[in-house]
Structure 1
Amino acid sequence: MKLSRNIALGILALWFALLLGSMLQALLAAPPSSDRIGQIGYFRDSSATLGIADVAKRRFTPTGPDFLGGYDRAAQWFRLTVAPPATKGKDADDTVLQLSLNQLDHVTLYLPASRGWTALENGDTVPIAKRGAKLLPLGFHLPDSALGRTLFLRVQSTSSLGFQIWATSLAEAQGNLSRRIAMHVIYFPLLGMGVLLAGLRLRLMPNLLSLSLFALMAVYFLYSAEALGYAQILFPLADPTAHSRLTNAAALLTSLTSMLFHRNFLGQHRPNPIILRATDAVICAQALLLVPLLAGDDGAIGLPGVALSVVALFLVMGLLLTLRIGDAMARRTLHLAYGTWFGVTTVWLCTRLGLFGPTAVSRPYVEVFGLNSLFIALCVMAFDRTAHLRRERATRLSLASARAVQEARARNAAEQDGFTHMLVHELRNNLTVLQISLPEITDPRQREALAATIRDLNRSLAEARHSTWLTEGNGPNQPRPLVLVEILDGVLDGLDAADRIQLDGEDADAMVIADPEMLAAALSAALNGMSALARPDAAIRLTLSQGGEETPCKVVCETLLAAPLSDDPALPPQVALGTLLLRQMGGTLTLSCPAPDLLRLDLLLVAAPSGIPE
């Protein structure tokens, strides 16, 4: 077990190293060369209403190829020239002007024409495998006639505070795009696997955490397809701004579902309640940003969205640091997973704020963040699975312990019940001997006093046994297999009768299953009805048998009863008891009077009553 846990930790550490290496490569890689870009002039149109004819006459401020500024409604204008390549390419129109911006930004390139200007909006495509693929970063083809001449760029960015402008050859742009597509051939199946795993978890464990995890993975898959340009290729729309709005919505929903997931996952481990409530407030604020987005105002969510993401980053860190997790392995796994997430998120946010240079989209942050989200999802699934197995093992141990205790109590109860039953029968045998000897006492007062004493002792024994049943929780009111002798004892207790009932040996076949209440009522009716056929001091011989159609009947017990019968007879026992047994028990009863002072009661049970286990 310890070796497997170390192997799992090693795999997580390797994943962490790969993600960290990708992040550092994205941060430290050399920026694209801008040697072919001439002097760049900058003009800010705060109203964003001026056209190219008006802007071309304005005064521009010199600036460099790296621009910081954005997240507002102003239009950023750039005046620049692109020098021809040092060596002529084999194809005409071999130059591409690129900007490190997303497709969700509104960029227009104005080329000089014979009459005014020609406008190209939101980039061009590069032919990859006979299909047009959007350039990422955003780019424009430049005809050879435009090289060396003044060009104008109009930018309204809602995705990044900074960006860079550079020029490259078409072959180099195709090579960069081919390498990115090769990477995405691995990236999107991995991300899709995360979506499927989250969906499977949602089906098996339908709770809020599973729902938020599935929403995060599904929304980020959509965001990756939009931000990396594949949605525009696979699903072209007539409205040129539709994919821009979808990308904005997916980015905001990614931030919202990410916070929901982290809140639900970390919140179940008892973090600081104040930080948890602050996290709920940030989630509500992020949800409110959907209002201007649905109203069509994309620019209103840029800077507020980044600000809320920064606050959310610190809150998630606070939740993680205040968790109460006793398992050291689980705690290290969470710290490793969230350490990667903090690093990737911090670099991504700093890049969007322009702190690491205007290269947000020219680096694979979308892919790194997506792989990190998949990493977090796998860690959560593994963590929850381990916790579930731990709880399941604890439950099994608890059930086994409870079962052992219950079996011990059942054995003790059976021993006590057997001892009580034996004690009662021993006492009753002696009382029966005294009761049979009553006619030999000539003094009526002594005979009556002794009979009253016998009845009181019988009643006390019955109450003692009933109290034992109630204490053990297995009294006659609960359906359970009962020896028929026990049932008859209860009947005779109610009749103040003494008995000498004993099973025929200790054979298990002597066990008869019956319903206590039904048999008690039947025998009570029979015994009370005997007063119509015998004197009050008559003896009663009861014969109990069991058998079946294929099994010969066997006498279970045969005993002589001396019961004081009631003076108010019920229905004839042949009718009352015989009908009841035939209807409810599948048994038969015969009553005979072989002598004036003896009644014979034969009871045959051929099957257990319905509903009572055999």
Structure 2
Amino acid sequence: MKDPWRIAMICVTLGLAIALWQAVIYRPPVAGNLMTDAQIAEDASGEMTLPQMQRARFQPTTLPVTLGYTPSAFWFRLSIAPPEDGSPALLSVGLPHLDDVRLYRQDAAGHWQESRSGDLIPYNQRSWKSPRLAFVMAHMEHAETVYLRISTSGSVGINVAAQPLGPALADDLRYTLFHALFLGLIVTSIVLSVTFLFYSHDLIFLNFMVSQSFILAGLVTLHGYASVFLPDQSTSSATTLVGILSGVTGIIFHLHLMKRFQPLRVLFVIGCAFACFEFIAVPLALFSDARIALGLHASVMAAFLPFLGLMAWTARVPASMSLWSLRAIYSALVVSASVWILPQLGIVQPNWMTLNGGVLHGVINFGLILSLLAYLTMRDRRAAEQSMLAMAQLQTERAIQNQSFAAQQNLTWMLAHEVGTSLSVIRMTVAKESMTPRSKSRIDRAITGLDSVIRHCLDADRIQSGHWQISPTRIDLRQILDQVIRQQDLPRLALDRSSVTQAPIDGDPDLVRLILTHVIENAVKYSPAESLITVAIVKSTGPEGFDISVINRHLPGAAPDAHRVFTKFYRDDRVLATSGSGLGLFIVREIVEALRGTVAFHVADGNVTVRIWLQNSTRSSS
């Protein structure tokens, strides 16, 4: 199922190659043709004897010739020259779907000897053991005139040829090879239809499988292969019945398929009437006259196939393929059918394609179903890809919603914790009768913490709403860093001696001060008490600018999650009792990116490093 178009193209190419070979290269026996003259006469009663027919009037004829669907017997008077190498000659007659074929040839004493073949004669009783009907003419010393009597319930084109035995055997091999390839193609289409039925559960493939199975059985019997498998039985009735059933199932399949494309309703109703007439031929073949049944079958198929083309051109809704594909395939089907319909109607003489008209018809059918299979498979693949894309989008939206929900939960929890803690401190302190300096300090810290949380929330809101206004001016990054360090007033916070003395850049002083404050406060809060915190500012070795590094020891236990520290409301579980919003590094990252800088968080050897790079010039942005 991975590449149905490739499978379809390979199979269609093979089918068309076989059809081309049959139409252009392959011909019925002509190599070393020994027939010098052919004449035909009709026995309308079907009961005349050889002496009576010898006195009848024969007319010159060209081969092949259209015969059948009448009670008449047809007699050929043939003049055959002996092979030059002295080998026997082989007189072949086709198609094999002929009820009774008799050869009358004089022996050395001048007596006429009768040899019989045909579908009514079991394979083991024929003189020539082959799916093709033929007679061996041995001991030919001079040109002979022979009579060939043919009676058949139904046939379109009949060909008669005489060859030396060697070329005839070679042609017999080519004949068998050709049909083996084509029958293999039909088997392939059946296997594909079963596979796609299992894959798609579409009943059109079941319908096609049944139709192709009967076509396969019909071709096997029509071309004489059933007699090989049943050597002791007559195959005439089986050939008749299977041929009619292949027409019934074929009409049902085409109507089932055509219904999806919504042709004109009146045409579809007429098509259903064709199916009914074709089905009537089944009981006629079983219980009445096979000739009438086959004649009805041929007439229905001759009218129905062009009618299919008309339905295709009036189809209004593309379904299992595009309308133009449908029309092209059914137009080709009508053209292929004309090679045996027109001779059957007596409009044109039969030709070599008439003898194997079902072959090209089957190839077109095969191309039709392969196009259908490929279309449905590609449609299912596109639907699967769209479903996968929609599923991915739903998963992305779900992840975003989960993140938003988690952020809202974290915000609610943080506000409840921070506001509740600060109010509790204030309430407990105010409840006391006397206000000591220590109490005032506790109130001041609670209010400061609460104010910090509120400011952080407002800063985060301004970032997400895009209300930041950057006002770049010439500033000294080192000078601002010194101010932030002095404001912290912590002995364990030190500036690295390798730091530059001046770091001039174009930046917003308030925003730069804000990100430095957040980074240093984060280092103080998330490091053990009394541990050293080192701040360094150096000239960048890469793009023009300055690198600011803040290094501290992380708290005992697992290191912070470097992949989450810049997300909103992320806080280490070990400092949940400490006042904080979980927004500090989120604000840092957003402001640094707005200043067209970079920020990174690294953990190694028990140390946490936050490194910020700011470029020398910053363009205004919001």
Question: Is 1:280 aligned with 2:272?
Answer: yes
Equivalent position to 1:97, from 91, 116, 135: 91
Tell me if structure 1 keeps the 8 A contact 2:158–2:355: no
Corresponding residue number in structure 1 for 2:193: 198
Corresponding residue number in structure 2 for 1:528: none
Tell me if structure 2 keeps the 8 A contact 1:60–1:79: no
Secondary structure at the aligned position of 2:35 is classed as: coil
Letter in 1 for 2:105: L
Tell me if structure 2 keeps the 8 A contact 1:103–1:244: yes
Query: CA offset at residue 292 of structure 1?
Result: 0.9
Letter in 2 for 1:50: M
Secondary structure at the aligned position of 1:317 is classed as: helix
Corresponding residue number in structure 2 for 1:215: 210
Question: Is 1:293 aligned with 2:285?
Answer: yes
Tell me if structure 2 keeps the 8 A contact 1:20–1:340: no
Instruction: Kindly report which structure 2 residues correspond to 1:556-571, keeping only aligned pairs within 5 A, or say none.
Output: none
Once the two structures are superposed, what CA deviation does each residue of 1:432-483 show, in whole Å capped at 9, x if it has no partner? xxxxxxxxxxxxxxxxxxxxxxxxxxxxxxxxxxxxxxxxxxxxxxxxxxxx
Corresponding residue number in structure 2 for 1:62: 59
Secondary structure at the aligned position of 1:289 is classed as: helix
Tell me if structure 2 keeps the 8 A contact 1:34–1:65: no
Secondary structure at the aligned position of 1:109 is classed as: strand
Corresponding residue number in structure 2 for 1:498: none
Instruction: Kindly report which structure 2 residues correspond to 1:467-506, keeping only aligned pairs within 5 A, or say none.
Output: none
Letter in 1 for 2:43: R
Secondary structure at the aligned position of 1:88 is classed as: coil
Corresponding residue number in structure 1 for 2:380: 388
What is the distance in 2 between the residues matched to 1:293 and 1:267? 29
Secondary structure at the aligned position of 1:165 is classed as: strand
Tell me if structure 2 keeps the 8 A contact 1:68–1:162: yes
Question: Is 1:88 aligned with 2:98?
Answer: no
Corresponding residue number in structure 1 for 2:242: 250
Per the alignment, do residues 366 and 122 of structure 1 end up closer, same or farther by CA in structure 2, a change over 3 Å counting? farther
Per the alignment, do residues 288 and 413 of structure 1 end up closer, same or farther by CA in structure 2, a change over 3 Å counting? farther
What is the distance in 1 between the residues matched to 2:405 and 2:272? 55
What is the distance in 2 between the residues matched to 1:143 and 1:222? 35
Quote the RMSD (CA, aligned, Å). Answer: 4.5
Per the alignment, do residues 21 and 56 of structure 1 end up closer, same or farther by CA in structure 2, a change over 3 Å counting? closer
Query: CA offset at residue 371 of structure 1?
Result: 3.1
Corresponding residue number in structure 2 for 1:183: 178
What is the distance in 2 between the residues matched to 1:76 and 1:199? 44
Per the alignment, do residues 311 and 134 of structure 1 end up closer, same or farther by CA in structure 2, a change over 3 Å counting? same
Question: Is 1:225 aligned with 2:220?
Answer: yes
Letter in 1 for 2:265: P
Structure 1: unaligned runs, 5 residues or longer:
418-614
What is the distance in 2 between the residues matched to 1:134 and 1:26? 22
Tell me if structure 1 keeps the 8 A contact 2:102–2:150: yes
Question: Is 1:261 aligned with 2:259?
Answer: no
Query: CA offset at residue 265 of structure 1?
Result: 1.6
Corresponding residue number in structure 2 for 1:438: none
What is the distance in 1 between the residues matched to 2:316 and 2:394? 29
Per the alignment, do residues 79 and 389 of structure 1 end up closer, same or farther by CA in structure 2, a change over 3 Å counting? closer
Query: CA offset at residue 71 of structure 1?
Result: 3.2
Once the two structures are superposed, what CA deviation does each residue of 1:470-527 show, in whole Å capped at 9, x if it has no partner? xxxxxxxxxxxxxxxxxxxxxxxxxxxxxxxxxxxxxxxxxxxxxxxxxxxxxxxxxx
Once the two structures are superposed, what CA deviation does each residue of 1:318-366 show, in whole Å capped at 9, x if it has no partner? 2322334569984454444434433322223334445553345785444
Corresponding residue number in structure 1 for 2:232: 237
Per the alignment, do residues 213 and 59 of structure 1 end up closer, same or farther by CA in structure 2, a change over 3 Å counting? same
Letter in 1 for 2:99: D
Per the alignment, do residues 324 and 190 of structure 1 end up closer, same or farther by CA in structure 2, a change over 3 Å counting? same
Query: CA offset at residue 258 of structure 1?
Result: 1.8
Corresponding residue number in structure 2 for 1:71: 68
Tell me if structure 1 keeps the 8 A contact 2:99–2:153: yes
What is the distance in 1 between the residues matched to 2:114 and 2:21? 37
What is the distance in 1 between the residues matched to 2:4 and 2:197? 26
What is the distance in 2 between the residues matched to 1:5 and 1:102? 37
Q: Give the paired residue count.
A: 406
Tell me if structure 2 keeps the 8 A contact 1:72–1:299: yes
Secondary structure at the aligned position of 2:263 is classed as: coil
Query: CA offset at residue 289 of structure 1?
Result: 0.9
Per the alignment, do residues 270 and 386 of structure 1 end up closer, same or farther by CA in structure 2, a change over 3 Å counting? farther
Question: Is 1:50 aligned with 2:48?
Answer: yes
Question: Is 1:134 aligned with 2:134?
Answer: no
Question: Is 1:109 aligned with 2:109?
Answer: no
Corresponding residue number in structure 2 for 1:448: none
What is the distance in 1 between the residues matched to 2:374 and 2:252? 19
Per the alignment, do residues 231 and 68 of structure 1 end up closer, same or farther by CA in structure 2, a change over 3 Å counting? closer
Query: CA offset at residue 174 of structure 1?
Result: 0.7
Per the alignment, do residues 39 and 171 of structure 1 end up closer, same or farther by CA in structure 2, a change over 3 Å counting? same
Tell me if structure 1 keeps the 8 A contact 2:309–2:327: no
What is the distance in 2 between the residues matched to 1:198 and 1:402? 35
Per the alignment, do residues 399 and 180 of structure 1 end up closer, same or farther by CA in structure 2, a change over 3 Å counting? same
Corresponding residue number in structure 2 for 1:342: 334
What is the distance in 1 between the residues matched to 2:8 and 2:35? 49
Corresponding residue number in structure 1 for 2:116: 121
| TM value normalised by structure 1 | 0.55
What is the distance in 1 between the residues matched to 2:259 and 2:319? 17
What is the distance in 1 between the residues matched to 2:380 and 2:318? 15
Tell me if structure 2 keeps the 8 A contact 1:161–1:354: no
Once the two structures are superposed, what CA deviation does each residue of 1:77-112 show, in whole Å capped at 9, x if it has no partner? 425243332x53243xx1122333333432222234
Secondary structure at the aligned position of 2:80 is classed as: coil
Tell me if structure 2 keeps the 8 A contact 1:73–1:299: yes
Tell me if structure 1 keeps the 8 A contact 2:197–2:205: yes
Once the two structures are superposed, what CA deviation does each residue of 1:287-335 show, in whole Å capped at 9, x if it has no partner? 1111111125221133322221122112211232233456998445444
Corresponding residue number in structure 2 for 1:592: none
Tell me if structure 1 keeps the 8 A contact 2:30–2:161: no
What is the distance in 1 between the residues matched to 2:231 and 2:4? 48
What is the distance in 2 between the residues matched to 1:10 and 1:233? 34
Corresponding residue number in structure 2 for 1:321: 313
Per the alignment, do residues 57 and 174 of structure 1 end up closer, same or farther by CA in structure 2, a change over 3 Å counting? closer
Tell me if structure 2 keeps the 8 A contact 1:34–1:167: yes
What is the distance in 2 between the residues matched to 1:27 and 1:353? 25
Tell me if structure 2 keeps the 8 A contact 1:102–1:227: yes
